[in-house]
Structure 1
Amino acid sequence: MSIDIKYKPELPLTKQPIIIIGAGGIVSDAHLPAYKIAGFEVHGIVNRTKERAQKLADTFGIPNVYNSVTEAVKLAPENAVYDLTIMPEQYIETLKQLPDGSAVLIQKPMGDDFDQAKEILGLCRAKNLKAAINFQLRFAPFVSAAKYLIETGLIGDLYDMEVRVTIKTPWEIFPHVIIHPRLEIQYHSIHYVDLIRSFLGNPESILAKTLKHPAKSLSSSRSTILFDYGDTMHAVINTNHDHDFGPNHQESYIKWEGTKGSILAKIGLLMDYPHGVPDVFEYCIVEAGKQTEWQTVQLEGSWFPEAFIGTMANLMRYNEGSTNVLHTSVEDVIQTMAVVESAYKSSDMGGVKVKEQLNN
């Protein structure tokens, strides 16, 4: 059974020049390549180290390099969209400098903890910002394709969603992240927490455990997060970034199961990161009297960089009024941050003590 799957993001109707604040690796590897593919205009860039901003400007043909955020705002076109690619501890200071009512895409996570997330939300509300968080996995081609199949009812009622990642992650290439006291969930599994919420909504509760590796100094590198959606929906995240035993048994996928079929998306980016391997998108639909067969669909693009088109395009469309839904708005993502905070609390509190049952 072959299906024409719609998965590419809708683009804005108007030109909205982008001003990028920050010039780290994510900008060169994902933001700027994505915007080039989409035909978005990047008007200017600013970074604390101006030389880094200038290097990206030279490489990608950005006409303006600013000395400060203040200068960037002062010289910005009237309908500029701001793209914050800095670390969370700089969000508040930077957001305060943006014009009230402006459109801004903020790099994930929405703060380093839930208190900071609430502070960011409060500031965005006070300044009436059209603010979204860059949870771009929601817009990866394999996620959009899965959403299309599910929303059209082709796999029936969804009852199981699983994210499994068993890989070797080179944390050392992220020097500002590797030292974080909440490394694994706050900076990696948060993508999957947000993704599961985007399909299933908010869970009733969370059971979680995040763990260290005995021979490493990382705060955490493996996690299991179980979402409580009642007695039929099963949703779980299992991550292991320490599988340094060759590629044969590494895995990285999202799986959806429904009453009429199933979908499996291999996340190629995470395998042999940052080089990656090709994504694989497969689905099967159960038809009475027919043998169940899996179909493989070749999708254009991947998580990096194409998914970064989706978050910016959605913000631009919301800003121009061609859609009334800002999918990763701060109002929505504060709920992702609440789930993350719940996961850490669950991990710290631990489970039911077995010895208490034996002592009764």
Structure 2
Amino acid sequence: MTNSIESLPTPRHPDPSDAPSLRWGIIAPGGIANDFTDAIRMHTRQKVVAVGSRTLERAAAFAARHGFERAYGSYEELVADPEVDVVYVASPHSEHVAHALLAIAAGKHVLIEKPMAVTAAGARSIAAAARAAGVFAMEAMWTRYLPQTDIARQLLADGMLGDVEVVTADFGGAAPFDPASRLYDPALAGGALLDLGVYVVSWASFALGAPEHVFATGKLAPTGVDAQVALVLSSPGGGQALLSTSLLAGTPSLGTISGTKGRIETDAPFWGPSGIRFQSRGGTELHWVDPYGRPYRQGMSYEAAALARYISEGLTDSPLHPIDEAITTLATIDEARRQVGYLNVAGGAQ
């Protein structure tokens, strides 16, 4: 197959407004839930109809801000609402398993913020429950549903990169140390890998599949969580991924995939709507810049629309990011956290 190319592939299903409408309930009305709700209100036909929080006052304030009425002072009431089709689990990731299982037991489809659990074992429990209940369950790895990612997917599928040999990705942000914050508290499964590193490990999985070997080195915060980690992943086919994540310093947030025929370089940030560049071994260079006007977290509208399409098609798993892949990504993170000395991998929250 030649890697001659005159233009980059067109993203498939770029407009999230074409997806069937579902009625959404929100578990935990924090910052990510606020941005998700704004994104789907602005760019899709999805409807947030209810929210649950640990306090009725907090739920009512969120509902008023976003223009709907049903607010509940418990998560149990939220998942019991017969007008809710799908639950978005937006709580701290230490609570994802409990809240996802609660929604699944009520017969609701679930979109679970990434990481869907804090260990692979926790993710397996969600997968098993969803399959037994016959409901749709998906990790909210929204990068997989972005237009630029679909361009990369088509270039890989068409053999335009040849054999993939080297994958890189970084995601770091400077977060002042606060032992009580979600990022640094081991009781809340804090640390760089689970908060930011899940993106870089997922990028490597997208390009190379599950790794055969994991090598990690890092630096721990005073609370014992990983503050910074560098990883080398080796795939069964011989390709390698060089990844980094940090709570100590901001990094460019770039992703690359390099093969024997060409390479992909993303614009920043690789995990949100930006752009993508392809360069062939022969010197052809093409650059696509996202034209759709859904910047930063507005790109979460794509994952919500994808979920709605999949459910309308009778699917119970995402073809672009299967739940088993989310599990293997967490297995990689489990091993990396073990190697850097994170204290809470085996015995902590799932």
Interval of TM-score (by shorter of Structure 1 and Structure 2) = 0.7 to 0.9
For 1:221, the equivalent position in structure 2 comes to 227
For 1:330, the equivalent position in structure 2 comes to 323
8 Å Cα contact 1:269-1:279 kept in structure 2:
yes
The alpha-carbon deviation at position 302 of structure 1 amounts to 6.0
Larger Cα Rg: Structure 1 or Structure 2?
Answer: 1
Work out which of the residue numbers 200, 207, 213 in structure 2 matches 1:199: 207
TM-score by length of structure 1 reads 0.79
Q: Does 1:346 align with 2:339?
A: yes
The alpha-carbon deviation at position 22 of structure 1 amounts to 1.2
Q: Does 1:25 align with 2:31?
A: yes
Work out which of the residue numbers 67, 82, 85 in structure 1 matches 2:87: 82
Q: Which one-letter code corresponds to 2:274 in the other structure? A: D
8 Å Cα contact 2:183-2:192 kept in structure 1:
no
* Structural mapping, 1:230-241, within 5 Å: 230=236, 232-241=238-247
Between the aligned partners of 1:190 and 1:212, the Cα distance in structure 2 is 17
Q: Does 1:109 align with 2:115?
A: yes
Change in Cα spacing, 1:240 to 1:176, as seen in structure 2 (3 Å) is closer
Work out which of the residue numbers 278, 281, 290 in structure 2 matches 1:283: 278
Change in Cα spacing, 1:267 to 1:59, as seen in structure 2 (3 Å) is same
Unaligned runs of 5+ in 1: 245-249, 271-275, 350-360
Change in Cα spacing, 1:144 to 1:332, as seen in structure 2 (3 Å) is same
For 2:258, the equivalent position in structure 1 comes to 257
Between the aligned partners of 1:345 and 1:190, the Cα distance in structure 2 is 15
For residues 116-147 of structure 1, give each alpha carbon's deviation from its aligned partner in whole angstroms, at most 9, with x where no partner exists.
Answer: 33433343344343211112222234323322
Secondary structure in 1 matching 2:309? helix
8 Å Cα contact 1:31-1:308 kept in structure 2:
no
8 Å Cα contact 2:137-2:317 kept in structure 1:
no
Q: Does 1:51 align with 2:57?
A: yes
Q: Which one-letter code corresponds to 2:214 in the other structure? A: I
Q: Does 1:316 align with 2:308?
A: yes
RMSD in angstroms over aligned alpha carbons? 3.2
Secondary structure in 1 matching 2:311? helix
For 1:294, the equivalent position in structure 2 comes to 285
Change in Cα spacing, 1:16 to 1:99, as seen in structure 2 (3 Å) is farther
Change in Cα spacing, 1:231 to 1:152, as seen in structure 2 (3 Å) is closer
The alpha-carbon deviation at position 73 of structure 1 amounts to 3.3
Between the aligned partners of 2:24 and 2:94, the Cα distance in structure 1 is 22
For 2:297, the equivalent position in structure 1 comes to 305
Work out which of the residue numbers 179, 183, 202 in structure 1 matches 2:185: 179
Percent identical residues: 20
For 1:3, the equivalent position in structure 2 comes to 8
TM-score by length of structure 2 reads 0.81
Q: Which one-letter code corresponds to 2:93 in the other structure? A: P
Secondary structure in 2 matching 1:96? helix
Q: Does 1:36 align with 2:42?
A: yes
Between the aligned partners of 2:226 and 2:275, the Cα distance in structure 1 is 29
Q: Which one-letter code corresponds to 2:301 in the other structure? A: I
Count of residue pairs the alignment pairs up: 331
The alpha-carbon deviation at position 236 of structure 1 amounts to 1.6
Between the aligned partners of 2:193 and 2:248, the Cα distance in structure 1 is 15
Between the aligned partners of 1:267 and 1:74, the Cα distance in structure 2 is 41
Work out which of the residue numbers 177, 201, 217 in structure 2 matches 1:209: 217
Change in Cα spacing, 1:9 to 1:342, as seen in structure 2 (3 Å) is farther
Unaligned runs of 5+ in 2: 1-5, 343-350
The alpha-carbon deviation at position 207 of structure 1 amounts to 0.9
Between the aligned partners of 2:176 and 2:286, the Cα distance in structure 1 is 33
Between the aligned partners of 2:82 and 2:18, the Cα distance in structure 1 is 20
